[in-house]
Structure 1
């Protein structure tokens, strides 16, 4: 299924933190190499904030899928043969959940 193959040399080191190699797959089965990283930052008030981010060719994913600011997408994660995948689910126009 995958042409997103990684070896140990493909792991990304960011300030001493190594990310987890992953593959993002869109609805047309096009695939991109990505890296899931933990992001830790300190707010102006001194509070430590932790989140996760996908780094890699995100701008290529946006362009290939015609994504625009405000679009509603979901990312589903799964493992196949021990490898992490994210499946992009794009519903089209953005949804205003406040209406």
Structure 2
């Protein structure tokens, strides 16, 4: 096999996987399986949604609790995946 360099591209080729978004579908590999990073992000979003719906914790605590680190990251991910910021999500769906 020709030398492909080191790191992820080589591992992906050796293991029969794709490097990057070969499938053209964000969060999925070329076989259609959900990539680990996308799965982890979905789990974090789900946990953040539950906290926003059921608690009055500040966004900084919600972000830290679910492993997103900062309110800015929480905002970006919510806006990208749900189309609304976390504060608006809480206002619409809180069960308090």
TM-score per shorter chain, which class?
Answer: under 0.3
Higher strand share: 1
Larger Rg: 2
Could you say which structure has the greater relative contact order, defined with CA pairs below 8 angstroms and 6 or more residues apart?
Answer: 1
- Report the structure, 1 or 2, having the larger helix content: 2
